[in-house]
Amino acid sequence: MLDHFALRLISRAVPVLVPGARLHHEALARAAAGQPAEAERMFEAAAAAYRREWAVEPMARLRVQQRMVKARAGGDAMHEADAMLEIVRALNKLDRMESLAAPFAMRDAREVLSEWLAASHDVSLTVEDASVAGVPPAVATELAALQTAA
């Protein structure tokens, strides 16, 4: 396994050598390790690789997770709450996505969201907020239930 520095160097020098999925998982690993700036750089490298690969669905998953990491990294509960509406709207279009914890296995997107919400008890999304964001009422109710369970 390449260490983080070597992977970053190779992805910048010869980007076609590193697949988007590898860079995406590295971004998730950096985020899980509490390194949001490094995670952001790896998310962008993965996005560039996904564009080269014409990988639309992985790109969509990456962008949702990138928003989740950015929202959490700020440490501001109000910013996180504002970002949550955008995250829920984007996540509503996905069925499955990589877990935010190693080994980053594909899981139900709503379960990943539920775990992310459970990690921050200061932020809540009401059904009304979700409907304003364009989330269907059934999904908004399900998300509210997931938050309550968390």
- Asked whether the beta carbons of 98 and 50 are under 8 A apart, the reply is no
| Average pLDDT in the chain | 78
Tens of pLDDT along 30-87? 999 999 999 999 999 999 999 999 999 999 999 999 999 988 887 666 667 778 888 8
Model pTM above 0.75 = no
Q: Which of 55, 58, 4 is nearest to 31 (CA)?
A: 4
Where is average pLDDT lowest: 3-7, 73-77, 104-108? Answer: 3-7
Distance CA 9, CA 113 (A): 32
Distance CA 28, CA 47 (A): 13
Q: How far is CA 143 from CA 22, 39, 87, 95, 112, in A?
A: 30, 26, 12, 14, 11
Rounded to an integer, the average pLDDT of 80-106 is 85
Token pair for residue 131? 């409907």
Residue 97: in which H helix or E strand, if any?
strand 96-98
Rounded to an integer, the average pLDDT of 3-10 is 63
Q: What pLDDT shows up at residue 106?
A: 94
* Secondary structure (DSSP) of 101-114: STT--EEEHHHHHH
Tens of pLDDT along 115-146? 887 776 444 555 555 555 555 566 666 666 65
Q: What pLDDT shows up at residue 1?
A: 47
